[in-house]
Amino acid sequence: MRVVYTALLYIALPFVFARLLWRSRKIPEYRRRWNERLGWYSSRSNIPKSTYALWLHAVSVGEVEAALPLVHALQNRYPQYQIVITTTTPTGSSRVRSMFGESVCHVYLPYDLPGPVHRFLTHFQPMLAMIMETELWPNLYLACRGRKIPLILVNGRMSPRSYRGYQKVPGLIRETLACFHHLAVQTRQDARRFQALGAAPEKITVTGNLKFDVEWPVKLAEEAAAFRTKYWPERLILIGASTHEGEEVALVKAYQKLRKTCPNLLLILAPRHPDRIASVVQLCQKAGFTLALRSQKDCRGDEDIFLLDTLGELKLFYSLADIAFVGGSLVPAGGHNVLEPARAGVPVLFGPYMTNAPEVAQGLEQAGGGIRVDGVDSLTREISRLLGIAETRQQIGRRGQQFLLQNQGALERTLGLLALLLTPARRRP
């Protein structure tokens, strides 16, 4: 089956590059650094031979941010190791640079073909491979096993959609899972799904979700308060974060209704994908609202809608908001991270499609820190209720923070598993 898989990848490769060119119309970064996707590297990505490499793969922004506490902990506990981070998307690459700077080496993940995989592993010679969440690459992982590189799934999860997809190629997935030294997964349900796909039960440990161990800058609350005081001191603030197509429409419709009873309400929109910014701008303007963009630094204070079109600032704007809606959940996209706004102490609203982390959404809802909505009407109704009473907002926010604190610990459990492989240090051949 792996031979067929590899042959299909070779056939698809020209179309993959064509898609990169197509996407580069809106995001120019997609046409750059193709050499890395084929396993060819410039001198800037070299690692000194005296330094040991720990490789971590995080496909895009969400996985990179979830890996933040783990990377910092590894840098603090094992400073003798150079950390190599791979991503698949330019937004993930940008987030790595903004979060870690030159303290890590970043390249794009090579395509899962024998040549690129061989060149990647030969160039970096990792002594440990860590894969964030759900990324299964048969050729890459088989090559790791052939080179005796321990392969660890970190913060592993298996959504119902991914599970159904992997069930269609059981032999290939079973062979791929056999390459893992260990799978550190988020929940018991994830463990059951991995085991059903062929992972050995003795290789699976439920460590919890690293997103509960989110790092929160000490001065963030102070910075948020200063920003709000400067621009929006008399306004109530609703943020719609990580939104997908269709969700901005719902939020704008809700905003139109809410403005009738709360004229000082500000709506902040933070679309999940940067290539959709232009269409969101058109939507807001067509609805007749004034607009300010974060990237243009044209915030005046009296705009109707503020568009957060930069990366890496969600924590800041969660911290200055009164209510947060987390996207990817009113449309069937699986939902995004509800724990960051909970950590900021604001009520968290989300839609019915939270399949990426159903236990987290359910737990936050049961703890009283989250509110599930199913469309524009219920979204409008719940926001209106929360806008009316500040004490209610604060109480829900405190419950969300407590829920997050009660579920921390995944970081230490994960580090405990990794320590078994990092002590004593395995040296390069």
Query: How far, in Å, CA of 397 to CA of 346, rounded?
Result: 4
- Residues forming beta bridges with residue 52, ordered by sequence position: 81
Structure tokens at 86: 């791979």
Q: Are 318 and 239 in contact (CB under 8 A)?
A: yes
Sequence-distant (≥ 6) Cβ neighbours of residue 367 within 8 angstroms: 399, 400, 402, 403
Whether the CA torsion 378, 379, 385, 391 is positive or negative: it is: positive
DSSP 83: E
Q: Which residues contact 195 (CB under 8 A, 6 or more apart)?
A: 201, 204
User: Torsion angle of alpha carbons 220, 223, 225, 227, nearest 10°?
Assistant: -140
Active site residue 63: yes
Strand partners of residue 291? 305
Helix intervals (H) in 296-389: 314-320, 339-344, 358-366, 376-388
Beta bridge partners of 54: 83, 128
The one catalytic residue among 63, 247, 248, 340? 63
Distances (CA, A) of 76 to 41, 79, 216: 27, 6, 17
Q: Is the dihedral of CA 118, 122, 123, 125 positive or negative?
A: positive
Residues known to be catalytic = 63
